[in-house]
Chain A
């Protein structure tokens, strides 16, 4: 049934592209709404047919995976949820799988956010990952949520040297000194790894500039695809790994569940999203090729005239 669906989809999209090409070649205008419809179909059909592809992790994704995996169990990792609902489709899967990896490896996870909306996004991870897959993990001992602090780079400037000054309590107003997982943490230098998940400002770049480079603590990021190209100059000297976009999230998910068989049946939203992503990209590539062919055909007609 799945294969019939794939064949039907290929016939529909391929046939449509051919019709589009012939129509444009004949000089008939193509309404932009037809293009919108193509994109809609190329995204909707793979979603409905649940088409997925295998992923091989790229070096920059594998670097972050290896870093988390190679840290001794019990290492303290700071994870900052710096995104909002518009970015969530791309970035939430990254946040979930990184959290899952960190807790599965037995590390201590300290969560915080520099975005007001980051708290609600963390609550999604709390429900779907921490409470669902790690019910035995104790808040305050294995993980803690410090909550949101307004101030953007100002917050980073302070926590670089004095974390408690900016976060005297956790999100449940439990004092810093009463939280076992935070004992011995004075500043960002006391973490083994800092991961920022987001895509705007303040985001990964600010973490690198204000925390990673001054303190030397290893910094990594999971970002929306739009922001990823700007972070590659920082790799590998200033960042130890980058997850750029939904593809990187899918690679991480696939790599993680292959290496941790106990999570082999975990939800993989990023992998599911890569199916429509791939088909849509093929359609866009086809549009670019068609557009360029038509451009050169039209230019040759002009020259002949």
Chain B
């Protein structure tokens, strides 16, 4: 009798233990042995909101820390975050996996079928050549394992037949599976709204002690394993957990909340304001320039030397070398260089001096050819234009330098003009130009290269002076208007810097806060 009781007790304990282990409810719901430390206080003021300024598919939870956070015997070490999942999500997941498996199988067949057919052909040829099937073939990827030729041939033929028969069947399954998945996704919104029926709580992440927020994000891709539905009612729970994971606070629940994307990113308002400001300045000054208003630009010493340098080249009967740098056509410094090249090319056409323009980038070469050609046309010397004077060298940096150095030493140009983006090759070029006895005028906005140009060139345009030069030379309304707009923007920056310094000194954070851009 005693033994029978013992057996019944053991069986009861076993059944209870198994049931507890299989339970899908939050641990707090199960009856467990009394903890040795008391449960911590729960979080308070738990809120769930749609994450702002995103494309949707994200919810942000915020809360006030548990009073036991980081202190006491039952100190909180983390916050467990749970989300309620309708069982329909598992159906969606299962359908997604089936569809992915079908697609993978179809793809595998498409790759493996021709391989198997080729292998069969080769094996048949080998057997025919040797006029015997009495040899064995090694099985790939299975070392030491061989098959008789007859067996291998029959197996290959069977496999090929299987793939040929099944591939169309698998392909025909794709569309119905896609439709099934789409229907299941449509049912998700209703499934979420059915809370708390037909679903369960699942842990989705942890926030460390001290944290007061957590963001649950997912993918917008409906075929992804972490698809996060928009416009569905979502419910969350947060529990404060101690060092013993079994000891946790009571769950605080929040919901329903829906995620959605935003059209306007409020974190970028300062960017919008500055863009509008620039736009207003630029349009205003361009209109003023077009009307013929005299817009003052202070003289730049480097640019005044360009005409003299071109004259020198003409007198010496030597060419002018113009380098646009190693930038691409979309960069501002290269675009400014095109303007200056146009001006230089026009002068060169008027004086009938040869010009050499070796280019680093093919697209830059294309644009430079256009610029030089139209300059020659403007000067009335379209016949003197030679397309080969503007040519592509290579778009590998030091190979370009090596080639241009060779040109400098062979052609001995009287004037070297470096305008654009230059990197490590700047001093190599300028030194070789000095060796060749050329007068050198440089302009770049690469801060690292300006010192090299300053010490080795006769005139240097520093940074924005390169952009000002293109406006100063051309006096085109658009360029002049842009330059003036930039100047006014600089004035705004100076005023902002002054105001910011005063505000910071006086302890007014609101002004600095306005310039915080997020996202």
Residues of A with C-beta under 8 A to B519: 214-215
Chain B residues packing against A (C-beta within 8 Å):
55, 217-219, 225-226, 397-398, 423-424, 447-448, 517-519
Residue interface mask A200-232, B partner, CB < 8 A = 1: 100000000000011110000000001101100
Residues of B with C-beta under 8 A to A86: 397-398, 424
Instruction: Please tell me if the beta carbons of A229 and B518 are within 8 angstroms of each other in the complex.
Output: no
Cα A214 to Cα B518 in complex, Å, equals 6
Instruction: Please tell me if the beta carbons of B448 and A186 are within 8 angstroms of each other in the complex.
Output: no
Query: Pick the contact of B225 from A177, A214, A227, A230 — CB < 8 Å?
Result: A177
Cα A229 to Cα B446 in complex, Å, equals 11
A278 within 8 A of B: no
Residues of B with C-beta under 8 A to A216: 518
Report if A230-B448 is in contact (Cβ < 8 Å); known contacts: A86-B398, A186-B217, A186-B226: yes
Instruction: Please tell me if the beta carbons of A200 and B225 are within 8 angstroms of each other in the complex.
Output: no
Query: Pick the contact of B448 from A189, A213, A229 — CB < 8 Å?
Result: A229
Residues of B with C-beta under 8 A to A226: 423-424, 448
Cα A290 to Cα B518 in complex, Å, equals 52
With CB as the reference atom, state the residue of chain B lying closest to A87.
B424
Instruction: Please tell me if the beta carbons of B447 and A229 are within 8 angstroms of each other in the complex.
Output: yes
Instruction: Please tell me if the beta carbons of B225 and A186 are within 8 angstroms of each other in the complex.
Output: no
Task: Summarize A's interface: helix, strand, loop or mixed.
Answer: helix
Instruction: Please tell me if the beta carbons of A227 and B448 are within 8 angstroms of each other in the complex.
Output: yes
Instruction: Please tell me if the beta carbons of B447 and A230 are within 8 angstroms of each other in the complex.
Output: yes
Instruction: Please tell me if the beta carbons of A161 and B447 are within 8 angstroms of each other in the complex.
Output: no
Cα A112 to Cα B423 in complex, Å, equals 24
A168 CB to nearest chain B CB (Å): 12
With CB as the reference atom, state the residue of chain B lying closest to A177.
B225
Q: Which A residues, 73 to 109, have Cβ-Cβ distances below 8 Å to chain B?
A: 86
Cα A86 to Cα B397 in complex, Å, equals 10
Nearest first, the 5 A-B pairs at minimum CB distance are A226-B448, A230-B447, A214-B519, A229-B447, A186-B219
Q: List 21 A–B pairs whose Cβ atoms lie within 8 Å, in order of A's numbering.
A: A86-B397, A86-B398, A86-B424, A161-B55, A186-B217, A186-B218, A186-B219, A186-B226, A189-B217, A200-B423, A213-B517, A214-B519, A215-B519, A226-B423, A226-B424, A226-B448, A227-B448, A229-B447, A229-B448, A230-B447, A230-B448
Residues of A with C-beta under 8 A to B225: 177
Query: A189-B217, A215-B519, A230-B448 given. 19 additional CB < 8 A pairs?
Result: A86-B397, A86-B398, A86-B424, A161-B55, A177-B225, A186-B217, A186-B218, A186-B219, A186-B226, A200-B423, A213-B517, A214-B519, A216-B518, A226-B423, A226-B424, A226-B448, A227-B448, A229-B447, A229-B448
Cα A186 to Cα B226 in complex, Å, equals 9
Cα A227 to Cα B218 in complex, Å, equals 37
Residues of A with C-beta under 8 A to B55: 161
Cα A200 to Cα B226 in complex, Å, equals 36
Residues of B with C-beta under 8 A to A200: 423
Residues of A with C-beta under 8 A to B218: 186
Cα A226 to Cα B398 in complex, Å, equals 15
Residues of B with C-beta under 8 A to A227: 448
Residues of B with C-beta under 8 A to A177: 225
Q: Which A residues, 156 to 178, have Cβ-Cβ distances below 8 Å to chain B?
A: 161, 177
Cα A132 to Cα B139 in complex, Å, equals 34
Residues of A with C-beta under 8 A to B226: 186
